[in-house]
Amino acid sequence: MFCDFPLVVIGGGPAGLMAAQRLAELGHAVHVFDSMPSVGRKFLLAGKGGLNLTHSEATETFVSRFGFRCSEMESVLYDFGADAVRAWARGLGVNTFVGTSGRVFPTDLKAAPLLRAWLAHLRHPPHGAPVQFHMRHRWLGWDDQNRLLFNAPQGEVRVQARAVVLALGGASWARLGSDGAWCAPLQARGVDLAPLLPANCGFDVAGGWSPFFAEKFAGQPFKTVAITVPGEHAGAAPLFQRKGEFVATATGVEGSLIYAASQVLRDTLLRTGRANFHIDLLPDMAPERVLAEVRHPRGSRSLSSHLKSRLHLDGIKAAVLRECVSKATFDDPVALAAAIKAVPIALGATRPLDEAISSAGGVRFEGLTDDLMLKQLPGVFCAGEMLDWEAPTGGYLLSASLATGYRAARGVMNYLRAV
């Protein structure tokens, strides 16, 4: 089957839908292709946690969250930043609010109503052209006549397009459509890709937890702790340090505090084969106070009862201390107090890419124009998580996906005017 469509968007996630919306609003007939039966599946999954749309912090701080790619992302995020995201949602009839942490959510904390409103707007816009959707169309690359090639229920489909926006996601949560299969056809065309890696991910501890710890404490949270990722040599500043919460798993650790440190931990693992961090079990208590309480006479009480009474160390906090600190340490008050403030955790591996919240790597910015067009493939634009950037959770992932979709649409317009 052959079709001739002027503008094609491949990928029905936030980046692709934003590119389609912007192009359709300008009066262009846009055709969206996606391999799944419906669009926005990862978007809906994100909504289970309240749908964190963006973050209200200052733009300069917001941009800094993109690490080594902050310079490439800066102008994209200034063009379509947090205020633009909130205005976009409001235009779809969805109001937002700023939470205590500065994160921005829909007032009903749900993704489905926003997605329904978005799709209704795309299919029946108040102005502009309606977007046409082609579901269960898996993109395979290009044929020998430079036509887009899809595997569809009706068989092979070939599409001639003047311009195409690729918004195919990263490689986490393959069951929702983000499987990284797009790497092969792009590499076949000589596009330079950074390896796809897990981001905002969990980790396995080196050697695993003991059977007792894994069975009793998997799924339980470490509340009100701080973690420190030490520098690479003695005296160096910590690579990461923050207070928060995380969760023990059957094989290691995951959760918000671990995700925040995941880039540093992952990159250290890749470089050295091992990564370490320290847990401060009592971040609100000075080391001197901890030592004084450990040294306090305990009479006939056991050490466990003493630590529980004087320092409120019990449950998973007491257990991880026993798990990771030598028996000799418990006989030395100074060493024990130091260990309470810095329980050593050795990591042996990241959890699999498909389990990660997002992925790092992808199409390198060095191979793109400012309009996100591939330099080697004129008329082909890239947007969303398939680009080589990563960011922490907190609204940054969704914001950047929307912003890059918006920028790619602008690039398409510039390209069409020039050809």
Q: For the chain, what is the radius of gyration of the CA atoms? A: 25
pLDDT confidence of 124, banded at 50, 70, 90?
very high
pLDDT at 174: 84
Q: Among residues of the chain, what percentage have pLDDT more than 70?
A: 100
Q: How far apart are CA 338 and CA 210, in angstroms?
A: 23
pLDDT at 396: 95
pLDDT above 80: residue 311: yes
pLDDT above 90: residue 50: no
pLDDT at 410: 97
Residue 36 phi, psi (nearest 5)? -90, 165
Q: Are 188 and 144 in contact (CB under 8 A)?
A: no
The average confidence (pLDDT) of the chain is: 94
pLDDT at 369: 98
pLDDT at 312: 94
Q: How far apart are CA 69 and CA 371, in angstroms?
A: 16
Q: How far apart are CA 327 and CA 243, in angstroms?
A: 27
pLDDT confidence of 32, banded at 50, 70, 90?
very high
Question: Which H/E stretch holds residue 363?
Answer: strand 358-363
| pLDDT tens readout for residues 125-152 | 988 889 999 999 999 999 999 999 999 9
pLDDT at 87: 97
Q: How far apart are CA 223 and CA 228, in angstroms?
A: 15
Q: State mean pLDDT over 297-316.
A: 93
Q: State mean pLDDT over 57-76.
A: 94
Q: State mean pLDDT over 105-123.
A: 95
Residue type, 230: P
Q: Where does CATH 3.50.50.60 sit in the chain? A: 2-199+357-418
Residue type, 191: V
pLDDT at 2: 63
pLDDT at 85: 97
Domain 2-199+357-418 sits in CATH at 3.50.50.60
pLDDT at 42: 86
Residue 223 CA, distance from chain mean position = 22
